[in-house]
Every structure is written in structure tokens, then in C-alpha cells.
Structure 1
Amino acid sequence: MKAEKIFNCLIVDDEPPAREILKRYIRQIPMLNLIDECNNALQALAVLQSHAIDLLFLDIHMPQVSGLELIKTLKAPPKIVLTTAFEQYALQGFELDVADYLLKPIQFDRFLKAVMKALPKEVVQDQVSERPVEPLSNQAFLYFRADRKMVKVLIKDIQYIESLKDYVKIITEKGTIITKYSIAALAVMLPEESFIRTHRSFIVAIDKITSFTNESLEIQQYQIPVSKLYRQLVLKSLNVFPH
């Protein structure tokens, strides 16, 4: 039997939520082995000196020493994937020969493409997990880039999500956020016992639904369409079965 190749990974990011998302993604790929996580470049240097790291997920904006400055200190760096909320540093990153550049919030399909760029493609395709991305719990939260800042959204506060082509509109109990994100990526991340797809462009929180018909449902003042494709799934989630 052919031995499975394992690649050691290191996450360096000063934001705990960003590290949590990367850890969940890494767990979906059996060939990736997370050695450690660090919240600054100085901690990362110590890990890099004591472990053989194959793949480094590195944030750019960090206190004291930035991710780009860290790269310049490494004589024999591992494969590097930059992770950041600021796209203006992409060119500088590629000039430092990084494998890829991921913009936050990071979607799983985009993460997987970065791994395939950084590591031998045929190895990744052979060993990547077919399991869905591990869902978030209702007590968890995500950060979304909106209005030039990262906005924290509690999963339990989400009422519904609407796709706007390359963007999504997230309606929460505290307001509305529009961010560049894929509704398909959000669908697999949200807890399936708490959220339901009603339409190719809509995801709703089940416990926020106040009334419904075969064609639509209501969440407070909002009316959400229910398409024929998703109707039976919606009715089943609401414990309603056709006679």
C-alpha cells in the first residue's frame, strides 16, 4: 500500500477567529498535519527552528513583526500562503515567492486551491477529504470584511442570508452586512440543524421563521421565497409533511 504523504503546517495570525477557521479547514484535509499555531512572528520563528514545516499560513498585519518581514528573515522558507484582509499587499507577497494569497474571510474552496498550488497537485487530489467542512456551532461567530473593516457576526444573530452574485447580504438582529462571499461556502459552514436553504439565493435561520406557505416564509417583516427545488427540504425541516 502506498504510504500517505503528510505535510506539516503552521498557522501564524494574531486574530483567534482567523486561526480557528484555518484549523477547521486543515482538519478537512488528512494529508495536512497542524504542528502549531502562533499569534506573532517571534513565536513562529521558534517553531520554524524546532520543527520541519512544509506549509506556512501567514497573516501579514501582526504586532511588532509583520508577516512580510518574517518571510525576509527566513533563509530556507517553507511553502507560504499569505492570509490577510488587505488586498493591496498581494504584489509584494508574490515578489517574495509565496505560493498563494488568501483574502479574509477565507472560503474553503479557495483555501483548497491555495493548498493545491503550494503542494504537489496530484497528492492533494488523491488525499483530500470528501467530508463536508465542519459546521460552526450556534455559539460561534465569523468575521466579514465590510466598510473597510472586519465585522464580527454571531451565528445565533443571523436571520437570513441573500446572495447578490459575488456578494452576500447578511441580515442579523443587529443590522445588515454586505460582503464579498459565496453563499455556497456559507451553506456548508453554518450548522445544518439551525439553517436551511430555501432558494439558490437564500439561506434562513429556522428558529427565526414566524410563518410560511409553500411559496414563501416570513422572518419578522422580511418575506423569503421558497423555490420548488427546495420546498420539500424546507417542509421537512419545519416538521411539516404533505398529505
Structure 2
Amino acid sequence: MKNKLRCLIVDDEPLAANVLEKYILRLDHLTLVGKSQNAVEAFNILNAQAIDLMFLDIKMPQITGLEFLRSLRRPPAVIFTTAYRDFALEGFEMSAVDYLLKPISFERFLKAISKIVDSSSGQSANESASDSLNTLDREYIFVREDKRMKKVLLTDILFIESIKDYVKIITKSGPVMTYLKMNYLEEQLPDQLFLRAHKSYIINIQAIQAYGATDIEIEGTVIPIGRHYKQAVHRRLDELML
């Protein structure tokens, strides 16, 4: 590929970080530009230079890898590295490229890298990750409900309603209530299937049964079209009718 992927390792375990460094150095299309033992150091590196791919440990002092990733407005592609299986579902919920359990074999490392890099495509990790989110290759999301992670198929979602700090995901099999910000969830859903119709609603375009100037009907529920979303919503719906 034309440009090497610029990698950052964030891990407070020196031995684990050294293993990742050795793996990175073995691949021609990767280059290591930084190592940090905590989120503060990593934040400074991210602000100082461009990073395409971050290998992020979850259990770290002061702030966890998950908390750190949530704090970033425009994070690079992320591969979580940890000795704990318990965080896997939450990691994938945050759109991580992969989740590697320590000790990490080189074979497993290669498999993770292959998810974001095609050596003949010339794509950066950010481009690859973005393309992945904007296709239906991602068929589901995991959300937390009642202290458990629940798998929700994207095609089963009818619409999503924001209720203060929670969202109610209305699916074909019933509602799922979870603590999530609407804007964050909107970023995780593929644009060709979902549409923000109102500050409190995201709809599945394929589930629309009828619509008018001010509202959309899905499974008997009338969903208002927000004033600030009206132009974009009708432009999108008109395109679908062509």
C-alpha cells in the first residue's frame, strides 16, 4: 500500500506493549509512532500527530480504555487488547475493529489487521473503518439492557426514540431500553438504512408504511418530522421514491 498505517499502543503492561510492538514491526504496511501507558499520554499523542490505528488496553489506571475511547470526538480505528473477556460485547458496541485477548498470538494479530487493511487497496484505517460502518456488512449492534449486553439485528429495528439520557429501540420483537446518547447511536448506524427524522427519533427507512409533510408512520406509530430535519428527510424520501 502507498502509505503505512500509523499505529499507537496504549497499554500499562510493558510486556504486552512490547509484544504488540514486535508484531507491528514485522508488517511493512504498519508503522509504530507512539507508545503510552495511560490515557493522558495517549491523548497528548493523538493531539500531536495523526494516528490511523490505536491498540487500546481496557483495564488501565485512572481511566479505562472504554472511558477513554468515549471521550474522543474523532477517534482512530481501535483494536482493544485485554486479558478480560467480560468487556468484549461492550467493546464491539463501541465499533471497535476487533477485540484481542491476551496473550495475543501473531496469527490472531494478523486476522485483526486484515479487517481494516487490504494491502492492495491503499486505504487508511480510518477510511476502512468508515466504509465498514457505512455498509450493511455490520448486521447488528450490542446494547446494554438490565446489566446484560443484548444483540439487536439492524433489520429488526423499526425506529428509535430518545427519552432523556436513554433510548428506546423499537424492534419487531419488542422494545429494548438502553442508556445511550442519541447522537452516538446515530453515528453507529448505516446511513443507507437509517434516517434521523427528529431530535428524538431515528427511523428505519425500510419500515416506513406512509409519510406526509409533517410525519412518518411505522407499524401504526406516527413519528413527527422535526422542523430542523424536514428538508433533509423529504429530500431523502423523495430520492427513494424515484
- How far off is 1:50 after superposition? 3.6
How far apart in 1 are the matches of 2:71 and 2:193?
Answer: 20
**What residue is the counterpart of 2:144 in the other structure?**
145
In structure 2, the CA distance between the partners of 1:50 and 1:141, relative to structure 1 (3 Å rule), is same
Identical-pair percentage = 29
Secondary structure of the 2:235 match is helix
1:1-243 superposed matches below 5 A: 6-9=6-9, 47-48=19-20, 50-51=22-23, 54=35, 81-82=57-58, 93=59, 97=61, 99-102=63-66, 109=72, 112=75, 133-134=130-131, 135-138=133-136, 140-239=139-238
Cα pair 2:9 2:56 within 8 Å, conserved: no
Q: Give deviations 1:69-123, integer Å, cap 9, x for gaps.
A: xxxxxxxxxx9641xxxxxxxxxx5xx63653426xx75846849x9xxxxxxxx
- TM-score normalised by structure 1 residue count: 0.52
How far apart in 1 are the matches of 2:127 and 2:199?
Answer: 22
Count of aligned pairs: 160
- TM-score normalised by structure 2 residue count: 0.52
Secondary structure of the 2:170 match is strand
Any gaps of 5 or more consecutive residues in structure 1?
12-43, 58-78, 83-92, 116-128
Cα pair 1:210 1:218 within 8 Å, conserved: yes
Q: Give deviations 1:221-242, integer Å, cap 9, x for gaps.
A: 211110121112111111179x
Q: What do you get for the CA RMSD once the two structures are aligned? A: 4.2
Residue type of the alignment partner of 1:176: P
Cα pair 1:81 1:98 within 8 Å, conserved: no
How far apart in 1 are the matches of 2:178 and 2:223?
Answer: 20
Structure 1 outlier segments of 4+, above 6 Å: 129-132
Cα pair 1:162 1:202 within 8 Å, conserved: yes
Greater Cα offset, 196-205 or 44-53: 44-53
- How far off is 1:175 after superposition? 1.5
Q: Give deviations 1:107-156, integer Å, cap 9, x for gaps.
A: 5846849x9xxxxxxxxxxxxx7999542533521110101111001111
Residue type of the alignment partner of 2:7: F
Secondary structure of the 1:151 match is strand
In structure 2, the CA distance between the partners of 1:230 and 1:80, relative to structure 1 (3 Å rule), is closer
**What residue is the counterpart of 1:86 in the other structure?**
none
- How far off is 1:55 after superposition? 5.9
Secondary structure of the 1:137 match is coil
Residue type of the alignment partner of 1:169: K
In structure 2, the CA distance between the partners of 1:146 and 1:204, relative to structure 1 (3 Å rule), is same
In structure 2, the CA distance between the partners of 1:99 and 1:227, relative to structure 1 (3 Å rule), is closer
- How far off is 1:159 after superposition? 0.8
- How far off is 1:179 after superposition? 0.8
Any gaps of 5 or more consecutive residues in structure 2?
25-31, 39-54, 79-125
